[in-house]
Structure 1
Amino acid sequence: MGRTGTTIRRVAGASAVALAAAAFGLASAQAASAQELTGDEVLMLDPVTVLATRTEEKVTDALAAVSAVRQDDLDKIMPTRPADVFKYVPGVSFSDRGDDPGSSINIRGLQDFGRVAVIVDGARQNFQRSGHGSNGQFYLDPEMLAEADVVRGPVANIYGSGAIGGVVSFRTKDTDDILRAGERWGVLANSMFASNNGRLLGSLFGAVRPSDTYDVTVGASYRTQSNYDNGLGVEVDNSGNDIASGLAKATFRPADGHEIKISGLTNRTDYDVGQTAASASAFDTKLQNDTASLRWRYSKPEDQLFDFDGSVYWTRTDMEQTKVGGSSGPITGDLGAKRSFKIDTSGFDLHNTTRFETVALRHALTYGVDYFKDEVETDDSTGASDMSTPSGERSVYGGFLQWKLNYSSWFELISAARYDGYELEGGGTSSEGDRISPKVTLGITPAPWFTVYGTYAEGYRAPAVTETLVAGAHPGYAAGIPSLFTFVPNPNLRPEVGKNKEIGINIRQDDIWRKGDALRAKVNVFRNDIDDYIDMYTYGDPVTWCPRAVPGCPPIPLVTINDYSLVQYRNTPKARIEGIEFEGRYDAGLWYLGVTAQWMEGRDVIEDEPLLSVPSDKFTTLFGLRLLDRKLTLQASWTAARYDDVPAGYTYTESYNLVDVYVGYQPTPDVLVHAAVNNLLDDYYLPYPVGQTDMILATAAPGITYKAGLKIRFGG
């Protein structure tokens, strides 16, 4: 336990020191300016989430590793892509490429092929395309967002097959995000300019509520950026893009307690993917992502039998590419060759909560069913993409029952079981399976400010279409060089089963040093053992090549261009990922301090090799001041990250430091003028490890970037 124990002490110690410094600083501030602080209200918010248990609860009360990002957080972050949204959330990382605006979420070292369920307005986002990057992306402009919630680990097994890493739920802007209480109409406009070769954003949202029985919201945004420079001042090819998004929502309340919402979201992204190295192909890419959903909710405080939430949804992601760079070859074709990748996901999610009491016990039974179907369609004029991202269909279905028991204010028990099943077919191959996954959580609150809990939860992920059916040759480095290797399908893949053990602590205390201050903290220690973990394996004889087509070649010695000739997705008997997460914030009204930290280690238990997907250890602290009667906010943050155990054959940035600063002035509640500097130190770093054979495709993160924005709201 040498490294584990040392890191635990390091993370816990750093977090404790930071919060202790906050307490000491507050005491000093009180002594120096007690009169100034008297009567201040703390602006700390206890956000409410339903993500962990499908029942409303405060984040700091939830017996799970849950985090929430709200509009005030988004205003300070000024995000340009979804990865920015979670920059202060532990356990959440992104494997994003600079030349692809798509995002791939990593939670606790698990990502790709649906290991993290991504939900936008209740609709799953399941797009995947094989290539030199992540195997699972979604496309979403953060300007459309109102809030985001994340639960880490398979504790949210009520959200269906696949989420052995966790669940991320995004909610886009709605009427209540634009109108204030009593208003019948409102408009929200936002604009932002950023440096680093030019970035622009403009958005406009409008909402009307003619009566309390219905309201309508519409909005659109446009974002554009040129190629950015990394921390060395080097321009990153094809990192520019144009993103146009729109949404429309209509909400009806036909009767007391009933709400019906119709939502539509669209995203059009134009960009070039691929670097300009002589041997690398580049593609002009046009991506269209559309989501539609219908949701019906019924909830009345006096109705203990029914608290119902049901939705049906449809999502389509359609990517069309034209080759515009690189050498010609049988795999990627000639310049002008076309290919497309499309996935349609349709499904429904129905659940209800029934509440009752027996003697001194409070019960909440939540039960439901869900289903989704992925239809993957790949078209390539060369025929190669049909093999690496094969067409096929997958149906996933399930149901769950959860019992939540509370006694007084100090005891809580959550017990749940979920049934999952799947069917997959394509290319003349089929696969199916099912399983029951249990979950149990026990929480004790010995004092009003302190809760400790333990959880055992299992999750189940069915193999993806690509993992099962992928086939075909990978192109050589350049024209005339043979294929580097060949993908081999595996119809015998078994589903993954995550078995997570977790201990958590929630701390919530008000009025510590003075009336109105507040402390919130969550600590989680976890170990997730994944049986039959699916990973890519290499085997077969080396691939050789004769560099000169002249007589005697061979027997002139051949050049080995790859150590293996075959690649296949296979089940690893067991993988283990364990770690610690800390998230804390102290708010004294005039100033606040936040600390987040994560440490993780993941290994193939049988081979004793590190897992590539495990992110860096990371420590982040932020400090903010509220001045001029809270109209002026100043904030600075520092993030230190370090990789400690990466598989051989990968290039990575061992450690890096990111410093961000923010200033926002809000002369009225409806006007915000703000600015930020990201990567103030102009640090150069690769955000995640890259295979050494892929370095021509690697994209470092942006260097120093200045941002300025104006946000205006009005209504009546």
Structure 2
Amino acid sequence: MDISDRRAAHSLLATILIMLVGPAARAQDQDGFDLGTITIGESKREVQTDTAAAVTEVDQEEINDRQAGTVAELIDSVPGVNLVNGSTPQGSGINIRGFGANSTFGTDQKVGIVVDGALVGSEEIYRIGTQLFTDPELFRSVRVFRGTIGTFEYGSGIIGGLVELETKDASDFTDREIGFRFRQSLQFGSNGDGITSSSIFAWQPTDDFEVLGQFVWREQDLQTDGAGNTIGNSDFQLPSGMVKGTYTFGTNGDQRLTFKYSETTASDRDVQYDTFLTTDAVFGNVDRDTDSRTAVLRYQFNPADNDMVDLDVTLSYADQSIDQEYVSGSSICDRPTNPCGLTGGFPVGGFPVVNADQQYETTKLTVRNTSLFATGAVNHELRMGVEFIRRERLNADSAPGGIDNRWALFAVNDMRIGEDWTITPALRYESSQIEGSTSPNDGTFDNDAVMGGLSVRYAFGNGFALFGSAAYTESLPIIDDLGNATLMTQSEKARTLEFGGSYEGQDVFRSGDTFAIKANIYNTRIWDVTSYTVPGNQQITGVPASVYPEDIETRGIELEASYAMQSGFYVDLNANVTRGTEQRLNGSTADWRNIPADGLQLTLGRRFGEALDLSWEMVADQRMTRTTDPSAGFAVHNLRATYQPQAGVLEGSELRIGVENLFDREYTRHLSTRPAPGRNIKVTLARTF
């Protein structure tokens, strides 16, 4: 970056500070806002030091602050989480600890996605990414589990981790007071001329009934990278809508009935089939319509006089359909001269995969009860439940269709012994029956597995704690495996060992400050591998084309820390270091192909009362050489400012200004197939009426 670019960036930063601090200071008398106000010490994110699970929570305040364009961007600051092309809803995915999305599929079934109890996320669709196709504006919180511990209530085969999202409620805006509230937000992005409008209608007609309606329109033109080059496949239009209602009834309001329906659609014309690449000359272009729908009906019963009953029954339905048709003549292979050298010439109407219509429907019923009781000196929080899951996949030219019927039993018991020990055993039994819908993939296959884990935490009473865990899980065969009968009788096995420590305290370095830190070391091994083939094995003499690694082993360290002072100054730090290998059948060992680069994220900020929050964020990855596709290291800087007047005519209004990639750095994050966007200035205006 030359001197003029630096001056422009510095001038932009100064302008933002003047815009925000100046009006805030002038409003000191009329709005009661004082830049010198002493505030309680808090950072942007609370470190979860009270649990042995590797879990991170992103609340509504941070969701608003990040101004994310995709759901993936909501969690890219979580240690161990890396995005594959995260700036667009299509052609992107979530990778946790080296599993999840990759450059071929949007998911490998090892990262679970749960929205309000519904299982969502794409299947293994070739060259079409995105595990979660919806808008980040719909959500009020995100919880990310890394690894297997903490996930046995949600599914099997979760090795990388789990992303659990909750949508907004009307009471988030009405504060359970009778009346009507309306919230409108507008967001503008300079890179790609992005615009987002979110309209929320919250109505509380009575004390026991609330309704929320939300519509989000998000669109973006082609973006440019740090060198000014156009990033192909980066434009989109994404309308989303949601309706959600809750009725509270029973004795002292001990029962709740909630219904939610949400839908996100996209209609793309003459776009590249391969959503991972910036250009797609081989497969060509398609007309594609994508529709993702989720419906949830939830019943809760928690009587105040019975600690043994806290019932939660959730019935959910998730449906994702992708209809596409090849655009004639768009592939370079679609030429009379047969430039691709295809035997028999180019298929009439394009490759089968570009004309494949995909549909995935998942219906799930979960009945869970939480009981609180004591046995001697041990206090128990026992969560037990049963699940019934039916997944239907449409038969397509590119992949077999079928039905996967599953049922599962699970039990998780948080046992607390005094103030020091917490011991949590977890157990899950799951049984599946898969039926193929079309010959030759029309067989019936039954599989089952018992899996579980144990975590132990000891708190020393002075803020320090040590914890460790061991977990075993199995990935039962899936519908995608119907093309290979051998895979339908073999499950993948994985075990994960973790150890770590945490500390949380107040008045640590000076009066009124708070400090929290948590470090986690993990080791994961997978065997009986069926999800990955050995790359380039066709060149190995005597080895068949479809060969799977004998085992995969990953290990790493994750660090989360936060520090805040009464003056409003705060620091957040997240870091991860990951290593991995795969053992191949020919005796060779290679680095695991999907591990991310080592990363560090540091945020420095200052809160001025409740009205103003200014922060600087650095995101850095180390140069990645442990791969056949190395990537350069980088460090990018982001600025964020939030102004929320607490009194006067502007009370209820919010102004957010963010500058991502401040110095317009050209870089491509490891595992991504497209360069990252260059400088992007985002402005968000919101008001609740």
Cα distance in 2 for residues equivalent to 1:529 and 1:332? 45
- In the TM superposition, residue 701 of structure 1 has moved relative to its aligned partner by 1.7
TM-score, normalised by the number of residues in structure 1: 0.81
In structure 1, what is the Cα distance between the partners aligned to 2:226 and 2:542? 35
| Equivalent AA in structure 2 for residue 702 of structure 1 | P
Q: Partner of 2:406 in structure 1?
A: 396
Checking the alignment, whether the CA contact within 8 Å between 2:176 and 2:207 is kept in structure 1 is no
1:598-631 deviation per Cα after TM superposition (whole angstroms, max 9, x unaligned): 011111145421111211110110001123x342
Rate the CA distance shift 1:211–1:579 in 2: closer, same or farther, 3 A.
same
Distance in structure 1 (CA, Å) of the matches to 2:459 and 2:177: 39
Aligned mates of 1:179, 1:43 — CA distance in 2: 25
Q: Residue 330 and residue 254 in structure 1: after superposition, are their counterparts in 2 closer, same or farther (change >3 A)?
A: farther
Check the 8 A contact 1:178/1:206 in 2, yes or no: no
Q: Distance in 2 between matches of 1:246 and 1:579?
A: 39
Letter in 2 for 1:42: G
The aligned counterpart of 2:13 is: none
Seen in structure 2, the aligned counterparts of structure 1 residues 564 and 73 have a Cα distance that, compared at 3 Å, is farther
Given candidates 620, 623, 638, the residue that maps to 1:640 is: 620
Q: Which residue of 2 aligns with 1:316?
A: 319
Does 2:592 align with 1:611?
Answer: yes
Equivalent residue for 2:431? 421
- Which residue of 1 is the match for residue 117 of structure 2? 122
Taking the TM superposition and a 5 Å limit, the aligned residue runs for 1:152-171 are 152-155=146-149, 156-171=151-166
User: Percent identity, aligned pairs only?
Assistant: 23
Residue deviations 1:48-69 (CA, integer Å, cap 9, x gap): xxxxxxxxxx933122101000
Q: Which residue of 1 aligns with 2:370?
A: 353
1:329-379 per-position Cα deviation (integer Å, ceiling 9, x unaligned): 645834997431111111111111112123332122221111222211144
Q: Distance in 2 between matches of 1:179 and 1:331?
A: 58
Task: State which of 561, 570, 585 in structure 2 corresponds to 1:584.
Answer: 561
Amino acid in structure 2 at the alignment position of 1:113:
D
Deviations, residues 26-56 of structure 1 (Å, cap 9, x unaligned) = xxxxxxxxx9978532245886xxxxxxxxx
TM-superposed CA distance for 1:464, in Å, is 2.5
- Distance in 2 between the 1:411 and 1:97 partners? 40
Residue 154 of structure 1 aligns to a residue in which SS? coil
Q: Does 1:536 align with 2:533?
A: yes
Tell me by how many angstroms 1:100 deviates. 5.7
Residue identity matched to 2:565: A
Please state how far the C-alpha of 1:266 moved relative to its aligned partner. Answer: 0.4
- 2:202 maps to 207
RMSD of the alignment, in Å? 2.7
The secondary structure found in structure 2 opposite 1:84 is: helix
Shift of 1:645: 4.7
CA shift for structure 1 position 86: 1.1
Matched, 1:71 2:60: yes
Aligned-residue offset at 1:302: 3.5
Q: 1:253 aligns with which of 248, 259, 270?
A: 248
Conservation of the 8 A alpha-carbon contact between 1:145 and 1:173:
yes
| Residue 511 of structure 1, aligned match among 488, 502, 507 | 507
8 Å Cα contact 1:539-1:565 kept in structure 2: no
What is the CA distance between 1:128 and its match in structure 2? 2.0
1:95 counterpart residue number:
84
Aligned-partner SS, 1:463: coil
Return the offset for 1:653.
Answer: 2.2
Q: Which residue of structure 1 aligns with residue 10 of structure 2?
A: none
Q: Secondary structure at the match of 2:357?
A: strand
Q: Paired residue for 2:678?
A: 703
When residues 513 and 291 of structure 1 are mapped into structure 2, their CA distance, relative to the original with a 3 A threshold, is: same
Residue equivalent to 1:231: 226
Equivalent in the alignment of 1:138: 132
Q: Partner residue of 1:14?
A: none
Q: Where does residue 551 of structure 1 map in the other structure?
A: none
Greater fraction strand:
1
Task: Give CA deviations for 1:427-463 in whole Å, capped at 9, x if unaligned.
Answer: 2234332111121111111124121111111122113
Contact 1:538-1:567 within 8 A present in 2 as well = no
Cα deviation code 1:659-711 (max 9, x no counterpart) = 11111211135211111111112222223347xxxxxxx42121111111101
Q: Is 1:40 matched up with 2:39?
A: yes
1:550 corresponding residue in structure 2 = none
The residue aligned with 1:264 is 261
Question: d(CA) in 2 for partners of 1:230 and 1:76?
Answer: 23
Residue 645 of structure 2 corresponds to residue 663 of structure 1? no
The residue aligned with 2:31 is none
Distance 2:535 2:66 in 1: 41
- CA deviations on 1:143-193 (whole Å, 9 max, x unpaired) are 111110011111122212231221111111111322235353211111100
1:298 aligns with 2:301: yes
**Structure 2: gaps (5+ residues):** 1-33, 101-106, 335-344
8 Å Cα contact 2:121-2:133 kept in structure 1: no
Q: What TM-score results when the alignment is normalised by the length of structure 2?
A: 0.84
Unaligned runs of 5+ in 1: 1-34, 48-57, 380-385, 471-487, 543-561, 691-697
CA distance in 1, matches of 2:461, 2:513: 19
Which segment drifts farther, 330-339 or 190-199?
Answer: 330-339
The code of the aligned residue for 1:144 comes to L
Change (3 A) 1:712 1:36: closer
CA–CA separation in structure 2 for the residues paired with 1:594 and 1:174: 29
